[in-house]
Each structure stands twice: as structure tokens, then as C-alpha cells.
A and B are shown apart, each in its own frame.
Chain A
Amino acid sequence: MASYIGSATSRIDGRAKVTGEAKYAGEFNVAGLVHGYVVDSAIPKGRIVRIDTSGALGVAGVIDVLTHRNRPQMADKDDAYKDEAAPEKGSPYRPLYDDRILFSGQPLALVLAEDWETARVAASLVKIEYQKEPHVTDLQAERAKAFAIDKPEKPRGDAGKAFASAAVRHAAEYFIPTEHHNPMELFASTVIWDNGQLTVYDKTQGVQNVQQYLCGVFKMKADEVRVMSPYMGGGFGSGLRPQYQVVLAALAARALKRPVRVMLSRAQMYALGHRPASIERLALGANSGGTLEAMTHEAIAVTSQFEEFARNDTGWGNLLYKTPNAKFEHTLVKLDVPTSCDMRAPGAATGVYALECAMDELAVALKTDPVQLRLQCYSDRDQGGDIPYTSKQLRECYRQGAAAFGWDKRKAEPRSMREGNDLVGWGMASGVWEALQMPTTVRIVLTANGHAEVATAASDIGTGTYTIMAQVAADMLGLPIDNISVKLGDSTLPQCPLEGGSWIASSVCNAIANTARAVRDDLLKLAIGMKDSPLAGAGVDDVALIDGKIVSKRDAAHAVSIASAMQAGNADRITREEANKVAEDKSHARNVHSAIFAEVKVDEQLGVIRVTRVVNAVAAGRILNPKTAHSQVMGGVVWGIGMALHEETLFDHRYGRVMNANIAEYHVPVNADVHDIKVIFVDEPDQIVNPLGIKGLGEIGIVGVAAAIANAVYHATGKRVRDLPITLDKVVQFN
């Protein structure tokens, strides 16, 4: 039987998704369901003086309106609200807790009605009187107030001094605006109350995180709350922390002793977390030979007034480029906005954008080819800890990416390549992310009929977790993939971390391997117990499960079928639950890498930009499923096009409010913006990173893409745009 691991496999949940059989959090219907609609704040800071709910309560079908005044009891200590992904410092937001307004769009009341339309009408009739207080939402205006986070990267040498005396220098500031995740699926929770117990269907990237959080907020016991999230219509980090609608739905369900659903509107989702706006300052100094002498990367990013969310934007240079002197500093500015949160490749999408544009600018200053400069500065060690990598095929990414793109035909001079009215530009960048593994437990139940159920409390946020779990289990158990059923997205299943950081594939799959080994051990014992067993004397690692049989690795003729072993042992099922082994070993750096090559065509007169070609060559260890992996990286490239050219949450700082809180005016790429995208997976065997050699792909697809495009725009036009998005008015001076 051919291996499922490494073969292009269609999603096992694809049919359920396209037929509508797959149910999402806002689609679980039960009799007597109450619908909640949120009334949110029109101001960013102040207090609620009065909430007049009489108009809403007068609407037929309205059951109640919950506000901070009449809500049921909630926990009053911060610890109760600290979820797994909460920042270490700060006081997590508590919905409907008191009269304080901390950000525009904050929920201030929940209208509960017999149907959704009624709740929505009544919500529009709730009148709120505010006492406004001065607010700040503009990072640039507040940047002088930036303060350093607790765990800065260690400096090396004296970057300032080395920069000052460097033969060739580049220093500049880059800017990335606030961005929102905009998953297709609206945030929703359906909470079913049953005699004090809650069953919660939630849009989340971590069912157990939400379960523990709700237990804290409502002082409930673990067995009183079950959280499920079988499918998710995109998360991208927005579902890592429990969002407020799940608290409101649970609050209402407990108050009414009825099932309640709360679904947010698209506009309301702009008051959830966001990728923080950031200012990135890079200073690179090189010697005349074209290697780095100094690197300084300082970032200022946004957090809320009440929590310190920080994902280090700086320090990626330590992984990519050799330099004797380096200084990194990530700082924060507090604004009257919701707490920032993780969004695909947090810290890297932004930090590497700035770093890779700066490297391009340095290459221009050195009159060196951008790929050549990166090879000259290539670091075989993580300079932060001065340790080698478990594997790093980034050189091969540059080579294969450049070859597929045709980089050798690039003319170095900006504005030197043309096609009619269009200036043609070729740019490149590197990408880097982490290859992490988190403690995870997987349960396998193998039944005598040759079927197995593999289960853990993971989320599949659309990336293909169901499918890779089935592939790995099928291979490890020697069964056809159709005989594997996957259970996930249920807090009662074995422990699994949040679905984030690109760690789910490695964590879950290595746990499957360990559990399958335990199952194999049980099977072997049963087989050895058979009369005249051909496997007598074999140990668990002397055999493999292949084609429904326990087979000796030394001699395939020595085999016992799983069915007969179980029959002989009178076992109708084997149930095992094992965890992965997360290495404590700090002797190696664990990272994934990529090289991105982009072609843009820019109308010289009008500034209209088209990204006509992108090649993304990725080295990310073992690729479990080339089909879903390709989709994941392609999606990252599309998002990178959006980051480069389109995405920007527009604030009116006078009102502290997002003005384009909808997907008509918050632009992401549409089909017309997406042309030829080629994804290459560079072979990268890795025996060290984890037993299966899996590194994860969730984030790497987007990292560096915006920089490659920005560098291509420079190459096309000679105009360096450092603040994203690169709109046509930034490329051409029109007036």
C-alpha cells in the first residue's frame, strides 16, 4: 500500500463542506432558540450614563435586554478572564461588566428575542447616553509614548557604533497599518442550557481554551461546560482568544435557562482583535565586501489601554543574516482600541516585511543583486542562541525559486524593464517562521473490523487538519484512509493546544504516531499470544502495520492480520491515548524558511499595479499533503498581495472609529488581482525537529510576500514606498 503521508489527498471533509452538511457555530438549531443581537458603542472612550431599553423591550418578541446593570453574576477577578492566549500583562476585557467604554464598537447591551430579526430591530431602538472622555487611536501621534516589552532580544556587539562606521549604510522607517482578519464566517456562538449544564457551539481555534475560560468567568465546573467547534470558516488568529459573543451567549443562556445564539455582524467584528499597526525602523550597515556589520531593528506596535499584547516584530534578522553587531527592540503604544491579537504570522508578516525591504535597499546601495546579498549574509546558525538549525534549506529555496522565476534575466537598474505603458519590476524576499510542537494527546480506538477513530480536541480552521490526521493515522495503522474517522473540535476529547503558530500538524501527527505505536504494541502482544505466532520474539519496533497486517520488518512473510490477532485475543477494540514528546532540547533552532519572487507591472502614468507572477519556494520539513499544503501557501501569497497593495483598516481618529468596517471597503485581493502563483516545496528531510520531520505551514506562506512585491514595485518604478498598502497615489506623484 502506498503511503498516504506525502501524497496529494483531497479533504476528507470537503464533501460535507460543499453540501452544507458541515455545521458551523451559528448553524446549530434547537427548539426554543433565543437570538441575541449586540448593541455596540459609538464612542471609543468614556462611560455609559444611561441606557434606555424601553423601546427595545416594547417590541413584540423581545424577551430581555442585558446590560452591565442587570446582567447575571460574572467573575470579578482578572485571572478568571485570562485565557491561554491572553497577554501576560493586563486586565482582559469583560463584556457587559461595568459602565466603562474602552473602545468603539464595544458591546454595551444584548437584546434577546424569539427571532434574530426581532432582536436586530429592537437593538436599533436601544438609546445610550454617553459621557465622553478624550481618546487616542493614532499610533503616529502617540509614538513618543512607546515603552519596551519585558523580554527584549539580547543585543550583540555595538550595532550603533558599527552602523556609524559602516562603509555602506541604509536606515529607514516602514509602516504597516492596522489589519483585520475578516474570516468569511461571522463570529457566532450557540449555547444550549440543560439543567445548569452548557453545551457551547463556538467559532474558535481552541475548544478547550474556551471551555476553561467559560468555567472561569461563570465559576462553573469542568464537567458542566462542553465546547464544540467541528468546523470553522476561517480564523487566521482571530479565534485564538475566546471572543465576547461566547460570553454573552452563555450569560444569556444561564439567565434565561434557554438556548441562546449570538452572532456578530461584519461591522462588529472590527471591534475584535486585529493585527496591530506598527512602525518598523531598520538600520543596516555593510562593509564594502557586501556582508553585514550592523543590524538594528526597532518596532513600535499598538496594544490596548488594558492589555499588553506583544509579538516581537524584531529579531528575525538573527535567523536570516550573519552580523557581528545587532540590536532589536520591540515597543508598544497603548491606544483606545480593542487589544491587538495574532494574525497570520504575527510579528513575522510585519517584521520580516520591513527587514526584507531594508535588505533590498541595502542591495541597491551596494549595487549587489538582492539574492546575492542574501547569500553573502546567509547565516547557518541562529545567532540569538548561537545554535545550528535542525534543518535549513533556505539556500535551496533561493536557488529553486530563482530558477523557476527566471531571476537571471533580471536587469538590475530600476525602470529598466518595460512592456508598453507598463514598467515591469522583479523583486524578491526571504521568509522565516518557527517550527514548533506543543504537548498534545491523541486517542485511537481500533475496532476488530479494521476501522479506527482518531481523536483530539484540535480545531480544523480550514487548513486540512481532518485530512492530515486521517492520512497519518491510516499510514501508522496500516489501514485504508476510508477506514479512519477523525474526531476533533470537542473539548471533551483528549487535550490539544490552540490551533495556531503553525504547530498543529507537527503536534497532532507526532501524537498520532505515538498512540499508533501503542496500538501496534497491543496488537503485537495479541499476535505473539497466538499459537505458533510468526511474530514470536518481535518487539514493537520490529514490526509495522501494513495493509491490515502486523508485519515483521525483517521478513514481510512473517505477518499476522490485525483481524485475526484481535480475534485470537478476544479483543473487539483497542483504545490507546498517548501524547507527543515535545523536545526540551535547546541545542537547535527550529524554523521554516522561504524565498519569494514577484513580478509587478505598473502603469507608468496611472500607477495601477498588477502582481502578474509570484513564486514562493518553501522549505518546511516533511510535507504531509501536497494538495492542502499548496492551497495553504497559495492562500498566504494571496494574503501577501493584499497586505502589499490593499489591506488597511481606516480610522477616523477624531472619532476613534473604524470607517471601512465592511468587506466592500476593507479591500482584500479579488480574482482580478491574483494572477500566476507557483508554489515550490523544497525537499527538507529533518530527523531532529521531531520524529516525523514535520515543521508546519500555517504562517510561512504570507511571510515576505509583501516585501517581495514592494521590492518589485521599486524595481519597476524607482519609487520606494515604505508604508503599506502601496496604493497608486504612493507610486505616482499626481499633483
Chain B
Amino acid sequence: MIPFQYARANDVADAIKQIAADPSAKFIAGGTNLIDLIKYDVEGPSRLVDISHLPLRSIEPTSAGGVMIGAMVPNTDLAYHPMIEERYPLLSRAILSGASQQLRNMASTGGNLLQRTRCFYFYDTAMPCNKREPGSGCSAIEGVNRINAILGTSEACIATHPSDMCVALAALEATVHVTGPAGTRSIAFADFHRLPDNTPQRDTNLEPDEIITAIELPPKGFSTNYSYLKIRDRLSYAFALVSVAAALELDGDTIKEARLALGGVAHKPWRSSAAEAALLGQRADATAFAQAADWLLHGAKGYGHNNFKIGLARRAIIRTLDQAARGKPQSVSDKKIR
């Protein structure tokens, strides 16, 4: 850990000005991931610009019928907000599947999008890692890779994105609002996180001098037929081996619309338009679910320790879709899988 300067941003414009002035400065909000990374010498910002006091803490309905979530809304407040619980329970359940109450109290909505991988080699500065040190090599490909990716990997990196919340946001097709020196722009959730390719050091398409100001949810919340199922190596307080966000719109037992996203398997929440299209017009049954799972896992590749994730993901997708179709979403507190 190296010494760093600390400054508070007065407003969004000030935050951008401060971050643009210093290429090795970083924003800090809840700090639930960044502080760990600084302690492990994985991150070494010269300056921390504290944005936790910016007035980005509201959760408001939008004129379009959706919801605008300020980037500084703590994960806890978001998960338990009545509007979210009622209209977007998938998001609420996903958030409550992650971390602990204490961490969720601190973690911000914007920061959740920007948390970094839990790959063992990323955290150990004695090990080669392209994400931490571009060009040094990926130790995980032939290493201890139980927790690593099976989809969208590259020869440079097989890290996963660890967020639960983002898996739900991907399924709900949220929009990320950002502001930079050139003004504001919106990024579709699917375009926010990147695949590793040859630049695994870049997790997202957010520019270094941009700040997330809000996450916007579209009107459709799939509050009747949804489920978030997280499979992990202990029953709580662990990152997902595989997680599934499923949301359906049913007409009787026919699928009118389907959303499906995977966590714990790729460098970003994993979706497939083919998988979702395959469900349209189908009877909500095991055959259709299995077909969708196969589409979603198309091209999946194991690296040894994580081979099992492919089959596990397939079964988890089927189960989650079944839970969604039955209107019996996975409970967060009851660890029995429904």
C-alpha cells in the first residue's frame, strides 16, 4: 500500500475535473473493493477522489415508466426500496444474494458495477496476471481456476465479473448514465462491461475520466415470473460459481418474453439473444428451458478445475427458469433450492 492523497468532490463536475487532472487518481465511494485492492498492492492510486457525498442517492420513477437509481445509492437501500421490491424483485434478490449486510450497507450502486474480479492470481502480486500487469501472462488458464470463466474467455484472461447485482441489471436491460468532460452519455448495460480479449486490464467501457451518475431501469420489471439462483461453494458469503437471473412474461404457459443472464461464468454478465429468442412462443417447460440453456452456453469451454461449471450452469438455468415459470423465485434466506 502506498500513500495517497484524499480529496472530496463537491459535485459531479468537480469530480470529473479532479479525476481528469490526474491519470492515477481513482474515485472512491463505498470502498468495499478498492480499499482491499489497495491493501493488497493491486491498486495504487496516487489520489482518491471521494464521491460518496455527491447528491446521487435518490431512487425515482422516470417519466418513461421506469426507475432512475442514483449511483451513490447503497446496495442495501436499493435492495429494500419498496419500489424495487415490488416492481423489480429480481434486482432486489440478486443484490441480497451477494456479500454481507455490512458490505451492502457501504457498497454503492455505481461501485458495484466497477468491482473487480476475484481471480486468485489478480490478487497475488507475486503471480503473473494480464489484468493486473498487462503482458505478464495469465496464470489462471493452467492454474487453480475453479472460480474462473467458461464463456467469452481469451488467451489473455479467464477472469469473471463477481457481481450479483449486475446479472439482474443485465437481464432487466438497464441503462448506465455517465458523465465525462465532454458531457453525458448512456450506455446499454450489455455494452458496459467488456470481454477480456487482448485488453483484460479494462473491465468496462467507462472512460477513466467518466463517472457513473445513475442506473436506469426500463418499465418492465418481470415482477411475476422471475428468479435469481446463486450456486456457490458454501451457502452464503461466497462468490457465485454460477448464478442465473431469469425473467419471463407468460401468457398462460406460453412464453411471450424471456430474459436470461448468467453470473460467475464470464468477464461480464452473460446473455445470448439466441437463447432468449429460443424461448419465445414456447411452452414454459423443461424442453424449452434446456434448449435455451444450450444456446446460452454455446461455445462454453472449461479450463480444468472449472469444467463442471458448464453442466452446472445448464442445470441451474433450467431450474431458475422453472422457478420463474412457477412463480416460485429462489428465496434469499432459505438456502433450500426450490
* B153 on the A face (CB < 8 A): no
Interchain CB contact under 8 A, B41 and A605: no
Please give me the residue from chain A that is nearest to B119 by CB atom: A659
**Do A669 and B315 touch across chains, with their CB atoms under 8 A apart?**
no
Residues of A within 8 A of B308 (CB): 728-729, 734-735
- Which stretch, A23-31, A226-234, A494-502, A644-652, touches the partner chain B? A644-652
Q: Is the CB of A605 within 8 A of B315?
A: yes
| A492 interface residue (CB < 8 Å to B) | no
Q: How far is the CA of A565 from the CA of B314 in the complex (A)?
A: 82
- Name the B residues within 8 Å of A603 (CB-CB): 337
Task: Indicate if the CB atoms of B143 and A665 lie closer than 8 Å.
Answer: no
* Of A651, A662, A733, most B-chain CB atoms within 10 Å: A662
Structural contact, B126 and A42, CB atoms closer than 8 A: yes
Q: From DSSP, what is the main secondary structure of chain B's interface residues? A: loop
B312 near A729 with CB under 8 A, answer yes
Give Cα distance in the complex from A461 to B111, angstroms: 40
Is the Cβ of A646 less than 8 Å from the Cβ of B335? no
Asked whether, in the complex, the Cβ of A659 is within 8 Å of the Cβ of B124, the reply is: yes
Interface core residue of B127, B233, B238 (most chain A CB under 10 Å): B233
Within the assembled complex, what's the spacing in Å between the Cα atoms of A671 and B319?
Answer: 25
- B121 contacts A659, CB within 8 Å? yes
Q: Which of A650, A655, A657, A670 contacts B234 (CB 8 A)?
A: A670
Decide yes or no: A124 and B2 within 8 Å by CB, A606-B316, A610-B335, A652-B144 being known contacts: yes
Residues of B within 8 A of A608 (CB): 231, 235, 335, 337
Closest chain-B Cβ to A282's Cβ sits at a distance in Å of 27
Nearest B residue to A605 by beta-carbon distance?
B315
| Separation of A665 and B144 alpha carbons in the complex (Å) | 12
* Binary B-proximity of A104-131 (CB < 8 A = 1, otherwise 0): 0000000000000100110010000000
Q: How far is the CA of A145 from the CA of B131 in the complex (A)?
A: 39
B105 at the interface (CB under 8 A from A): no
Q: Which residues of chain A have C-beta atoms less than 8 A from B142's C-beta?
A: 654
Q: Which residue of B lies closest to A43 (CB)?
A: B126
Q: Is B118 an interface residue (CB 8 A)?
A: yes
Asked if A657 meets B126 with Cβ closer than 8 Å, knowing A121-B2, A672-B236, the reply is yes
Chain A residue nearest to B242 in the complex (CB):
A606
Closest to B2 in A: A121
B233-247, CB < 8 A from A: 233-238, 241
Flag whether B321 is at the interface (Cβ < 8 A).
no
Given known contacts A121-B2, A659-B121, A659-B144, is B319 in contact with A606 (CB within 8 Å)? yes
B80 interfacial contact with A, CB 8 Å: no
Question: By the criterion CB–CB under 8 Å, are B319 and A605 in contact?
Answer: yes
Q: Give the docked Cα–Cα distance between A673 and B237 (Å).
A: 10
A109: min CB distance to chain B, Å: 15
- Decide yes or no: A728 and B235 within 8 Å by CB, A120-B1, A657-B127 being known contacts: no
Tell me which residues across on chain A come within 8 A of B127, comparing CB atoms: 652, 655, 657
Q: Mark B142-181, 1 if CB is under 8 A from A, else 0.
A: 1110110000000000000000000000000000000000
Min CB–CB distance A140 → chain B (angstroms): 15
Interface presence of A564 (CB below 8 A): no
Whether A645 lies near B234 (C-beta < 8 A) is yes
Q: Does A487 contact B (CB under 8 A)?
A: no
Question: Residues of B within 8 Å of A, CB-based: how many?
Answer: 40
- State the Cβ distance, B322 to closest chain A Cβ, in Å: 10
Q: Are A734 and B234 in contact (CB under 8 A)?
A: no
B233-271, CB under 8 A of A: which get 1 and which 0?
A: 111111001000000000000000000000000000000
- Judged by a CB distance under 8 angstroms, whether A667 is at the interface is yes
- The verdict on A606 contacting B337 (CB below 8 Å), with A670-B237, A734-B308 known, is yes
Say if the beta carbon of A199 comes within 8 Å of chain B: no
Tell me the minimal C-beta distance from B75 to chain A in angstroms.
17
A197 within 8 A of partner (CB): no
A727 within 8 A of B: yes
B307 at the interface (CB under 8 A from A): yes
Q: How many whole Å from A713's CB to the nearest CB in chain B? A: 15
B303 in the interface, Cβ–Cβ < 8 Å? no
Residues of A within 8 A of B121 (CB): 659
B143 engages A654 (CB within 8 Å): yes
Chain B residues with CB under 8 Å of A671's CB are 236
- Give bound CA distance, A605 to B289, whole Å: 15
How long is the Cα–Cα vector from A705 to B120 in the complex, in angstroms?
30
Given A124-B1, A124-B2, A728-B231, check contact A610 B236 (CB 8 Å): no
- Interface hub of A422, A665, A673 (most chain B Cβ within 10 A): A665
**A601 interfacial by beta-carbon distance below 8 Å:** yes
The reply to whether A606 and B312 contact each other, CB–CB distance below 8 Å, is yes
Determine whether the beta carbon of B41 is less than 8 Å from that of A667: no
A165 CB contacts on chain B under 8 angstroms: none
Q: Given A650-B144, A659-B120, A670-B237, are A734 and B315 neighbors across the interface (CB < 8 Å)? A: yes
Q: Does A421 contact B (CB under 8 A)?
A: yes
B139 within 8 A of A: yes
Complex Cα distance, B38 from A124, in Å, reads: 12
Complexed CA–CA distance, A645 and B307 (Å): 19
Q: What residues on B are CB-neighbors of A605 within 8 Å?
A: 315, 319
Interface pair A672/B144, CB less than 8 Å apart = no
Q: Is B327 an interface residue (CB 8 A)?
A: no
Answer whether residue B23 sits at the interface, using C-beta atoms and an 8 A cutoff: no
* A638-693 contacts to B (CB < 8 Å): 645-646, 650-652, 654-655, 657, 659-662, 664-665, 667, 669-673
**Neighbouring B residues of A610 by C-beta, 8 Å:** 235, 335-336
Minimum Cβ distance to chain A for residue B288 (Å): 17
Mask, B115-131, CB within 8 Å of A = 1, is 00010110110110000
30 A-B contacts, Cβ less than 8 Å apart?
Answer: A121-B2, A121-B3, A124-B1, A420-B336, A421-B337, A422-B336, A605-B319, A606-B315, A606-B316, A607-B312, A608-B231, A608-B235, A610-B336, A646-B233, A652-B143, A654-B142, A654-B143, A655-B127, A659-B120, A659-B124, A659-B144, A660-B120, A665-B118, A665-B120, A670-B236, A672-B234, A727-B233, A728-B308, A732-B311, A734-B309
Closest 6 CB pairs of A and B: A734-B311, A42-B126, A672-B236, A729-B308, A672-B235, A659-B120
Task: Given contact pairs A610-B336, A655-B126, A667-B238, enumerate 14 new A-B contacts (beta carbons under 8 Å).
Answer: A121-B1, A608-B335, A654-B142, A660-B120, A667-B234, A669-B234, A670-B235, A670-B237, A728-B312, A734-B310, A734-B315, A735-B302, A735-B307, A735-B311
